[in-house]
Structure 1
């Protein structure tokens, strides 16, 4: 853990690294000789620091590309074409090692962003609505990073809550060699942070900043991953009933995904990680790994494509077919605004349709009527010819999980769903023949703790199998 702190403390001392995420972000002269407490001496300083925390989330190996890619490719939704640029081959073949650059980059970028959030949270500034707002958003950012870290580097809460999670770092200390906290403790920290975010955030400006109900939506998802269905449903219904957000429909699905602009109209997107024409990952953005005008390496797996009916807008507007590398291919059209666009695609973190599906699953097993209602709210808004699911029992749960796969495809959710439900991964023949299955019991279901974190820290323990 020393590596994390040593790298990130430089950020804390040079707040010039807090740069903008969007065109309207502040750009102030960097402080180069002040302690963090001294540098964050005003509301304006705190806002600049918050913008830097949001910027940290856009790192290519965090939400800028690697994390959402892993969520689909390490599962069964997306595979690497035989014609490729050499990116993410290890996810395709289940050949991740302790020296993997993308996994190491994910870990480091997440903890760097956590430390940026910590600096805001620990600021001595108090006494205004703006300060409370900025700290509330920082709590939500920190919770988001911990939620994704614990999903990939630790066993699911639903399986082993007392097993090793990830280190909880709440302050900056260059001498700290943190051990891994338990999965249960990490979830408790995430939920505590989201409680504070929900209590402190009062403003809504656009989808690229955490709002009160974006934090609440993430909390619903955390409770779902914890297997706490009662609290997941309560939080989800709070968002559905009180947030003022509306869901996309068949008629505006294509225009919604065709726009890379941050939303101010409370349509669908509760929170997304920002990119724009000036502040983006260039050719290394998420959109370009799918877009055939970019790298175009990742293609849709046949079994996922075949789940959609012929009249489903997600199929008719979300894919095209052709050939790549001499083989038949299904190209993903969910991301249309790639390198060179005036506003490249942002990375969706929480959408209202996801919240409806959380409410559906969380209604089970005791309230199948509500489960079908929330499930069909999404499903019938994607396919005008579909009259809705009528299933019960185990089939109803299966239908909800299938609808989650269809709705959230290429947004990074599939792998987390399969892990929390302890489902074996069985891939289509599109994938490498050496990696067509990954049982839940396989140690490769968890990412390795990066070797660079283990070397300087005797308190850090590796996951089994690495």
Structure 2
């Protein structure tokens, strides 16, 4: 993959800093000590707005990669377990990583939520996007095409951030018959518009806003490249459509999910990686797989250093240097012997404490995220599987079988010969193909399945029966106390 330069922004006036104590503020407004500029000054030129937009992308990358979000769906759903400690005081001992201690047992706490930072940073990203949207039309040194491109990217980022928050903090779309259960606060105004204390929308309204933002963005994209770096690192019309296909899938709008995924498959100009190159492309340094639609590439400082990547949770360097997360046997057992995707697991023996003795046990690290990998937001394989699931919803199981077999054929797995239990075949294909890319837990919730974690589970609770109030996390207490109109999720 390529890298962004790590660009900091500007500080703002004391008044706005005080506002930021109450609501999320914009990271792109921070600069070196001793200098200050106002929001108006920062965003009155195209260069300032583009610097701000680049900063928003940097924050999005950090939010989905550096916290718990990157592992959440796979660890909660049962694709991941933990590696043994290398610390001398706990050599070989396996413990739950401290950052997910509560949520892993489905007992996250509002006052010390394991996702508090993700919630805050998500709304910070939204606020930054809103600021850009509010100032872009007034730019005097940008063409209409450039303005439209800026607004399209900001709208897509705003929709994407809201969608991720909704996935974490709201029950799946069909939890109630009319999606009238609690969604999220959908913020379309920045701190520049003053303090507000909004209530949560329903899930139905939340999704309407998300869809409207993405549709507006799609109509604005001008194919104008404004930011430096590889094009796949920024939202464009194709990746916005890929996001919209995922949103439609989440709300089980089968017709629109099918049409949008089909559009991406037919018109993106991107093709599936072939079988011969599938493993080598995941293993290659500095570039994503060729079927990537959007990767949030990691930033580098001006000196060329990297602050972090997905190799932090997933990487293997040596027997004494490795990440916390490896594949469970629950996942590994799903692959057929000849399935080439089994080659994406790096088997390594690690010293593990068993009956008070250190013994070497084999662990399976993913090859998807070694070195300094970026965050895989969207790739073409997912669109085939979205189209397949939508086809099932539209009562076209044969078409779904064909799409599943495209993915299975590429993997050298046996092909489906009938449509018996096609829904489960599709669910399992998504679990295998998209493992560690942030889908499993949300797939479980969307399909109203129970959670059953077996291999390596050391939580107080290793499973949940659907429906459960614990399929969502608590809104951080700090935000509840700040906004009297913000209702907490039940059971927290």
TM-score normalised by the chain length of structure 1: 0.88
The equivalent residue for 1:150 is: 166
State the secondary structure of the residue aligned to 2:232: coil
Q: Which residue of 1 aligns with 2:26?
A: 11
- Aligned partner of 2:51 in structure 1 is 48
1:286 corresponds to which of 307, 310, 314: 310
Counterparts of 1:370 and 1:130, CA distance in 2: 40
Structure 1 window deviating more from structure 2 (115-124 vs 250-259): it is: 250-259
Q: How does 1:228-377 map to 2 (within 5 A)?
A: 228-261=253-286, 267-278=290-301, 285-293=309-317, 295-326=322-353, 328-338=361-371, 344-365=372-393, 366-377=395-406
Give the deviation of 1:434 after TM superposition: 2.5
Could you tell me which runs of 5 or more consecutive residues in structure 2 were left unpaired when the two chains were aligned: 1-16, 86-94, 355-360
84, 92, 102: which one pairs with 2:114?
102
How far 1:65 moved relative to its partner?
4.2
Asked if 1:166 is matched to 2:181, the reply is no
Task: Find the partner of 2:248 among 200, 212, 223.
Answer: 223
Could you tell me which of 65, 70, 77 is aligned with 1:68? 70
Q: Is the 8 A contact 2:170 2:182 kept in 1?
A: yes
In the TM superposition, structure 1's runs of 4+ consecutive aligned residues that sit over 6 Å from their partners are 28-31
1:197 aligns with 2:209: no
- Structure 1: gaps (5+ residues): 18-27, 339-343
Provide the rounded CA distance (Å) in 1 between the counterparts of 2:33 and 2:144.
24
8 A Cα contact 1:79 1:92, kept in partner: no
1:37-87, Cα deviation, whole Å (9 max, x unpaired): x4212222221111011011122x534342121111111111233535634
Seen in structure 2, the aligned counterparts of structure 1 residues 291 and 141 have a Cα distance that, compared at 3 Å, is same
- TM-align CA RMSD: 2.7
Q: Report the Cα distance in structure 1 between the residues aligned to 2:115 and 2:163, rounded to whole angstroms.
A: 16
Once the two structures are superposed, residues 365-385 of structure 1 have per-residue CA deviations (whole angstroms, 9 ceiling, x without a partner) of: 4212211111111111112xx
Q: Deviations along 1:192-218, whole A, 9 cap, x unmatched?
A: 111122112232652111111100011
Q: Is the 8 A contact 1:64 1:347 kept in 2?
A: no
**Which residue of structure 2 lines up, in the alignment, with residue 140 of structure 1?**
156
- Identify the residue that residue 5 of structure 2 maps to in structure 1: none
What CA deviation, in whole Å up to 9, does each residue of 1:169-209 have, x standing for no partner?
A: 11123421121111111111111111122112232652111
Structure 1 residues 337 and 31: CA distance shift in structure 2, 3 A: farther
Q: Does 1:125 align with 2:129?
A: no
Secondary structure at 1:158 match in 2: helix
Does the Cα contact within 8 Å between 1:158 and 1:225 map onto a contact in 2?
A: no
TM-score after normalising by structure 2 = 0.83
Mapped partners of 1:447, 1:228: distance in 2: 25
Partner-residue secondary structure (3-state), 1:388: coil
Other structure's SS at 2:364 match: strand
The alignment covers a number of residue pairs equal to: 442
Question: 1:4: how far off?
Answer: 9.3
Deviation string for 1:89-139 (max 9, x for gaps)? 334322311133531011011111111111112223365211111111111
* Cα separation, 2, equivalents of 1:145 and 1:351: 18
Distance, in Å, in 1 between the alignment partners of 2:171 and 2:296 is 26
